[in-house]
Amino acid sequence: MLSLEEKKYLILKSLSIKKRFINMYFKANAGHIGSALSCADILTFVYFNWMQKTDELILSKGHAAAALYSVLAEADILSPKDIDSFYKNDTYLSAHPPANKIDKIRFATGSLGHGLSLAAGLGLAAKLKNSSKTIMCVTSDGELNEGSTWEAALFISHHQLKNVCWFIDRNELQGFGRTEDVMKLNPLDKKLESFGFDVHIIDGHDFEAFYTIKQKQKDANKPIAVICNTVKGNGWMQKQNQLSSHYLPFNETEYKEFLDAIDNEIKAIS
């Protein structure tokens, strides 16, 4: 169980990360806000509680890059000047993560369905080298439409890559509608189990739930897949759980209200 101090630390980290990328999106007048908000808590826990220094993180759903950039800024890997360049000409902080331009981002992602394959390759390499590193991969649920994702899942299972932890951001919305309407995934847990994964379903906004899985992963005898039930646009009240949060930028009223809500949460916790 997380201590009260650990929970407070993670909640404040998450709020600070969200505040960063909310500012980034508003200044850039850019979309994909909903995608960043659904995975922000996943990235917060993985980066600031689970990962060790030698571990690697792949954000396969690269359209949520602003969330990853904000995590790296929170870890002092990216500077305020870097963050201010988001979406501008000649920036490394583009709409999707670039390859080998930023420390801790080894691969360009966002062409959906590639991230888990990359994680599989890193996992096998680490296993062959007897490395203790863990590979964390965060995918969207929409990219499970891609056959390459399932091929990677077979590969991970076949090679028993227990050093790969797969987090599925299950917000049930993708670019063209509800995932169950576009291409049905349920029962997703049964499908993943049939592929040879140790499957867990959790609230993707609950740090205690992540901590429980982290403890179980130490003794797992199979690769782990974590279905993180999340809310697209979590906290953006006007667009929460709506497809429009995938594409639309903030208007000024939405931006100010969201920023005020986050500031109020930070004050209440601090």
pLDDT at 70: 98
Check residue 191 and give its pLDDT.
Answer: 98
Q: How does the average pLDDT of the chain come out, rounded?
A: 96
Three-state SS letters, the chain? CCCHHHHHHHHHHHHHHHHHHHHHHHHHCCCCHHHHHHHHHHHHHHHHHHCCCCCEEEECCHHHHHHHHHHHHHCCCCCHHHHHCCCCCCCCCCCCCCCCCECCECCCCCCCCCHHHHHHHHHHHHHHCCCCCCEEEEEECHHHHCHHHHHHHHHHHHCCCCCEEEEEEECCEECCEEHHHHCCCCCHHHHHHHCCCEEEEEECCCHHHHHHHHHHHCCCCCCEEEEEECCCCCCCCCCCCCCHHHHCCCCHHHHHHHHHHHHHHHHHHC
Report the pLDDT value the prediction gives residue 207, as an integer from 0 to 100: 98
d(CA 216, CA 34): 30
Low-confidence ranges of the chain (pLDDT < 70): none
Residues 119/41, Cβ–Cβ less than 8 Å: no
Domain boundaries, the chain: 4-269
User: What pLDDT does residue 227 have?
Assistant: 98
- Distance between CA 19 and CA 25 in Å, rounded? 10
pTM of the model: 0.97
Instruction: Write the CATH number of the domain with boundaries 4-269.
Output: 3.40.50.970
